[in-house]
Structure 1
Amino acid sequence: MKIAENVFGYRTAIANIAYIAGLGPKKEDWVLIDTGIPYSASFILKNTKQLFNEKKPLAIILTHAHFDHIGALQTLVNKWNVPVYIHEKEIPYLESKKKYPKPTPLKEKGIMSFLSPFYPRDGIDFHSKIKPISREDSLPFLTDWKWIHTPGHTEGHISLFREKDRLLLAGDALITVKQESLFAVLTQKKEIHGPPAYFTPDVETSFTSIEKLHALEPQILYTGHGGPMYGEDIRKGISQLLYQHTYENVLKGE
């Protein structure tokens, strides 16, 4: 689906990917954001062919290295032979040198939460063509965009923001569906939520990241889970999420 000018989205079962097009001197280049769930490579390749014919991307950018965002990575890199950009703090997880923390299925109840102990939390032993995102100029081909470090869900999670239309690609820093609920995932009911609770070890840091994104005043929002949102619904949704979190902390005496 078209999200905004030169930005398209595609859902691989439970996780979204995004395409940023219109890049380069001739505005013919593009990049892929995340690579979906395992075994989604054939669907992604079919979709990219429809969008861009046989033109391969300049690069793949990963918001983080959870299994549902790197599922097709190895196959796509083998096919395209392009660099992979990821925050330097995520590289050990991508390379299987570190494992993500164990899930917490009871933090937020729901069938997707209860299934989380069965989700992979190690990397894919991926080592080829990794480019660390660590400096402001780490993504030189995205001249109209800036990347933002949004940790909490993972150590090196990043989001992307385009100032001209205030478009935010938030990854899992915040999402637009209640990912813990199978019913919500199936119906794709649009609601702004924090990152999936079962895979978010540092909740307080994640809400600091959400506050950072809220300050950008996004007008278009596309996330790693859920459909796109626009305009005032975004501000209201994030404001309500932050208020609820503060209220819960007060009740707990924090």
Structure 2
Amino acid sequence: MKEEHHDLPQDGYFDMSHAEADDVLEDVAYYRTLMANVGFIGKPGAKEWVLVDCGINHYAKRIIEAAEKRYGPVPPQAIILTHGHFDHIGSAKKLAQHYKTPIYAHEKEMDYLTGKRSYPVGNSTVGGGLFTVLSPFFPTEPVNLKKWVHPLPNDGSIPFLNDWRAIHTPGHTPGHISLFRDRDRTLIAGDAFITVKQESSMAVFIQHQHVHGPPAYFTPNWPEAERSVKKLAALNPVTALTGHGLPMDGELLQEQLSHLALNFKELAIPKNQNKLH
């Protein structure tokens, strides 16, 4: 796996030579946008590929550059959003404008993506760590992608990804989805679970790898979050790319995800929230 790049967030001060996706599998790669991962589905040089999530704001140029290094000037057939939090849709509008490509999200996420509803403000009392303290200041207001965004089909199919299916994994947000490919049990989990303790800025900086529940400060529905993790653990994924942290695979992934699913209340739900459920 290639060396991680920690880029400055200002487009004008970025060396584009650093914008490069890291392989997860031959046809799955990711690019880290400071806080969150962007996924690429499609082999290098493929004429058909799909982008998963859009990272934080001010990363459109870098995502485009990383994509062009992998696919040339070919635009993605679609952009699939796991959910609409700011660190997953920040560059969505600029990417849609540039590529002139459709965006797809779960129907229960549409109000947050069409200017109708705001997400709950970050909860600074759960999870500990610097990002938790800062979370009330993270953007939660609705974005308006009405010109480009469409609801995903209700049957779990994903446009332009015949081998993949969308799994509704709410809890972190009402319309959160994960993407799963049955033939090799590859999972793109979004924030249903992650592989770094996102609440801690130090853990995020060093990318210490371990399966964790969804970011606590932005997760309002813990019973649904627990059901979603159990649903994904039951798939016994071989490879997982999550919204935050490094990809994981094999027995380590399966053991840690199973352990999280079996002990979710103790491991993932903040103590002051556990009493409520």
Distance 1:67 1:162 in 2: 26
Shift of 1:129: 2.3
Partner Cα separation in structure 1 for residue 144 and residue 177 of structure 2: 21
Instruction: Return the alpha-carbon distance in structure 2 between the equivalents of residues 46 and 238 of structure 1.
Output: 33
Which residue of 18, 30, 33 corresponds with 2:39? 18
Structural mapping, 1:204-223, within 5 Å: 204-223=223-242
**Cα distance in 2 for residues equivalent to 1:253 and 1:30:** 43
Q: Secondary structure at the match of 2:89?
A: coil
Shift of the alpha carbon at 1:253? 9.9
Give the TM-score normalised by the residue count of structure 1.
0.94
Partner of 1:85: 104
For 1:28-107, list aligned pairs within 5 A: 28-107=47-126
**Shift of residue 247 of structure 1?**
4.7
1:112 Cα deviation after fit: 0.6
Counterparts of 1:202 and 1:229, CA distance in 2: 26
Query: How far apart, CA to CA, are the structure 2 residues paired with 1:57 and 1:242?
Result: 34
| Correspondence for 2:7 | none
Unaligned runs of 5+ residues in structure 2 are 1-21
- Give the structure-2-normalised TM-score: 0.86
Query: Which 4+ runs in 1 deviate beyond 6 A?
Result: none
The Cα offsets for residues 70-99 of structure 1, whole Å up to 9 and x where unpaired, read as 011111111111110011111110112001
Q: How many residues are treated as equivalent by the alignment?
A: 252
Look up the equivalent residue of 1:14 and give its one-letter code.
Answer: M
What secondary structure, in the 3-state scheme, does the structure 2 residue paired with 1:54 have? Answer: coil
1:48 is paired with a residue of what secondary structure? Answer: helix
Q: Does the residue aligned with 2:58 lie in a helix, a strand or coil? A: coil
What's the CA shift for 1:123? 2.1
Distance 2:175 2:276 in 1: 29
Q: Which amino acid aligns with 1:11?
A: R
Instruction: Report the Cα distance in structure 1 between the residues aligned to 2:226 and 2:263, rounded to whole angstroms.
Output: 11
Deviation at residue 28 of structure 1 after TM alignment: 2.5
Select the residue among 177, 199, 216 that pairs with 1:180.
Answer: 199
Q: Give the counterpart of 1:131 among 117, 142, 150.
A: 150
Aligned partner of residue 90 in structure 1, secondary structure: helix
- Unmatched segments (≥5 aa) in structure 1: none
Amino acid of the structure 1 residue aligned with 2:164: W
Q: Secondary structure at the match of 2:135?
A: helix
Distance 1:190 1:157 in 2: 23
Contact 2:104 2:151 in 1 (8 A): yes
Change (3 A) 1:60 1:240: same
| Aligned-residue offset at 1:242 | 2.7
